C-alpha cells in the first residue's frame, strides 16, 4: 500500500500556527507588491476564491480583508524536515516529493502499526503533535491513486482506496485528475472523447500512444491499474560527521576529549535525524602542519547514541599517540543501516552496555530542543566546567 501525505495550506498554516492572531483569518502568503503573486492562501481565504499563483491584486479584489504575509522559506523548510522525520518513524521508505508532501510505502507496516487506516490516523496524530498542523492523506494500492486520494477530502482529509475499489475508481476517474495531465493533454483527450480513465482503458493503446507519445504508454498502464514507480527514499546519506578547527592548536587531552564529546553529540543527532545507525566511527585529526590522520573502528552491532559514538572516538584518540599539536578534530560515522522500526531495533539490540537508555535520553533531548530551540537543554557532560550552576528563573 502506498500512502501520500500533503500538508493543508502549508505556508499559510505555519504562519497561523506561529502567529495566533492570524488563526481563523484570511491569510495570503506571497509578494504584496504590484506584481506579487499568491504563493498559498489559508482555507478561510480560499472561500473567497483566492488561489495559488493568482496575482496579488486579484486576491485583494476577491478578499479585501485578507492579511498578506511575506513567506519565510527557512521556517517552512525547518517544519518540513520535522514532518519528514515524523514520517520516518513509520517506515524508512519515505520519499519526500516537495516541501509539504511525501509518499510512504506502508506495505510492511501492518504488524507494527496496524492496517492502513490506523497507520494513516497515527501519522495525522503524530504530525499534529509534533507541528500543530493538519495534513491530508490518501492511501491506495497504486501510487498515482494515493496522490489523487490525498486531495479528495482536503483539508484534514483521509481517503482510502482499497484494492477491491480500484477498478471502479479507475473506470470513473476523470482524466484531468491524473498527475501529469496538464491543460494541453486534457484537451487532446477530450477531443478523442476520453473523459475518464475507464474510457482510456477501452481505447486502442496503439492509437493513444500514437497521439500522445510516451505519456500515452503511461496512461495505458494506469488505466490497467499498473503504476510501477516505487517509493524511493531520498536519504542516500553515506556518512555524517562533525568537526572543527580549534581556536588554538593544542595537545591538551582533556580539552580534546570535551570537544570530541560535542562532535559525538552532533553526529548522534544527525544519525537520529536520518534514522540511521552506524557501524563505523572515524576520528579525524589535522595537525598544525596540516597533516591529516584518520583512525576508524568498526563494531558488529550498529550504534546511534552520542554516548556510544563518543566511547569509540575516545578509544581511538587514546590509542593515538599525540606527539604533535592538533589543529582540527572531528568525528564521523558511516556504514549505515536504517534504524527506523522497532523490529530493527530489537533485532540488532545495541552494543555498548546501557546505550539503549542513552538513546532514550538523546531522543528526549532532541524532542525538547526541536520544540524550544537548539541548545535549550543539553547534557551536563557537555557543559564546560564552572558553568554548571543552578538554572536561572528563565529556565
Ligand atoms: P500545495 O500542497 O500545492 O498547497 P498548500 O499546501 O498550500 O495547500 P493544499 O491544502 O491545497 O495542499 O503546496 C505546498 C506549499 O508550496 C504551499 O503552501 C506554498 C508552496 N507553493 C509555491 O511556492 N508555489 C506554488 O505554485 C504552489 C502551488 C505552492
Ligand atoms: Mg499542501
> What is the structure's pLDDT at 233?
80
Share above pLDDT 70 across residues of the chain, in percent, rounded to a whole number: 87
> What is the structure's pLDDT at 269?
87
Pocket test for ligand 1, best of 8, 31, 40 (most atoms within 8 A of CB): 40
Mind listing the domains of the chain with CATH numbers? 2-8+74-160 (3.30.70.270), 10-72 (3.40.1170.60), 167-223 (1.10.150.20), 239-382 (3.30.1490.100)
Q: Which residues are catalytic?
A: 101
Model pLDDT for residues 345-360, shown as the tens digit of each residue: 333 334 444 556 677 7
Beta carbons within 8 Å of 215's beta carbon, 6+ residues apart: 180, 185
> What is the structure's pLDDT at 369?
65
> What is the structure's pLDDT at 343?
30
> What is the structure's pLDDT at 380?
67
Do 249 and 206 touch, CB atoms closer than 8 A?
no
Model pLDDT for residues 194-229, shown as the tens digit of each residue: 999 999 999 999 999 999 988 999 999 999 999 988
> What is the structure's pLDDT at 350?
40
> What is the structure's pLDDT at 392?
36
Residues of the chain falling short of pLDDT 70: 234-237, 338-357, 367, 369-395
Ligand 1 first shell, C-beta below 6 A? 6-11, 39-40, 52-53, 99-100, 154-155
Nearest to 14 by CA among 87, 94, 100: 100
In this prediction the pTM is 0.65
Ligand 1: residue whose CA is nearest its atom 24 = 39
> What is the structure's pLDDT at 338?
64
Which ligand has the shortest distance to the CA of 39? 1
For residue 53, how many other CB atoms are within 10 A of its CB? 9
Compute, in angstroms, the gap from residue 52 CA to the centroid of ligand 1: 7
Count the alpha carbons within 13 Å of 212 in the hemisphere toward its beta carbon: 28
> What is the structure's pLDDT at 391?
41
Compute, in angstroms, the gap from residue 98 CA to the centroid of ligand 2: 9
CA 11/CA 100 separation, integer angstroms: 9
> What is the structure's pLDDT at 276?
81
Pocket test for ligand 1, best of 56, 80, 100 (most atoms within 8 A of CB): 100
Amino acid at each position: 500500500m502506498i500512502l501520500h501525505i500533503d500538508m493543508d495550506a502549508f505556508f499559510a498554516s505555519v504562519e497561523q500556527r506561529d502567529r495566533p492572531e492570524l488563526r481563523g483569518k484570511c491569510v495570503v502568503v506571497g509578494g504584496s507588491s504590484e506584481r506579487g503573486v499568491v504563493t498559498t492562501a489559508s482555507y478561510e481565504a480560499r472561500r473567497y476564491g483566492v488561489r495559488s499563483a493568482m496575482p496579488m491584486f486579484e486576491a485583494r479584489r476577491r478578499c479585501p480583508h485578507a492579511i498578506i504575509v511575506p513567506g519565510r522559506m527557512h521556517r517552512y523548510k525547518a517544519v518540513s524536515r520535522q514532518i519528514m522525520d515524523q514520517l520516518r518513524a513509520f517506515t524508512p521508505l519515505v520519499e519526500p516529493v516537495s516541501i509539504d508532501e511525501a509518499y510512504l510505502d506502508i506495505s510492511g507496516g501492518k504488524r507494527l502499526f496496524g492496517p492502513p487506516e490506523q497507520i494513516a490516523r497515527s501519522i495525522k496524530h503524530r504530525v499534529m503533535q509534533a507541528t500543530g498542523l493538519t495534513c491530508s492523506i490518501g492511501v491506495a494500492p497504486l501510487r498515482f491513486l494515493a496522490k489523487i486520494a490525498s486531495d479528495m477530502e482536503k483539508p484534514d482529509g483521509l481517503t482510502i482506496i482499497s484494492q477491491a475499489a480500484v477498478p471502479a475508481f479507475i473506470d470513473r476517474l476523470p482524466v484531468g485528475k491524473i498527475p501529469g495531465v496538464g491543460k494541453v493533454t486534457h484537451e487532446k483527450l477530450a477531443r478523442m472523447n476520453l473523459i475518464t480513465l475507464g474510457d482510456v482503458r477501452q481505447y486502442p493503446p496503439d492509437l493513444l500512444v500514437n497521439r500522445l507519445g510516451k505519456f500515452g504508454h503511461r496512461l495505458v498502464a494506469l488505466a490497467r491499474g499498473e503504476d510501477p514507480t516505487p517509493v524511493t527514499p531520498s536519504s542516500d546519506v553515506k556518512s555524517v560527521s562533525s568537526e572543527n578547527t580549534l581556536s588554538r592548536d593544542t595537545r591538551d587531552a582533556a580539552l580534546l576529549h570535551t570537544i570530541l564529546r560535542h562532535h559525538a553529540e552532533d553526529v548522534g543527532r544527525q544519525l537520529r535525524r536520518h534514522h540511521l545507525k552506524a557501524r563505523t566511527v572515524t576520528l579525524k585529526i589535522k595537525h598544525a602542519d596540516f597533516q591529516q590522520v584518520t583512525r576508524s573502528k568498526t563494531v558488529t552491532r550498529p550504534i546511534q547514541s552520542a554516548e556510544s559514538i563518543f566511547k569509540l572516538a575516545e578509544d581511538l584518540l587514546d590509542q593515538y599517540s599525540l606527539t604533535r599539536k592538533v589543529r582540527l578534530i572531528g568525528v564521523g560515522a558511516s556504514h549505515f543501516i536504517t534504524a527506523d522500526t522497532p523490529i530493527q531495533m530489537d533485532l540488532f539490540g545495541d552494543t555498548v552496555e546501557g546505550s539503549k537508555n542513552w538513546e532514550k535520553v538523546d531522543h528526549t533531548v532532541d524532542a525538547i530542543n526541536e520544540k524550544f530551540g537548539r541548545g535549550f537543554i543539553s547534557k551536563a557532560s557537555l557543559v564546560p566546567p564552572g558553568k554548571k550552576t543552578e538554572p536561572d528563573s528563565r529556565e
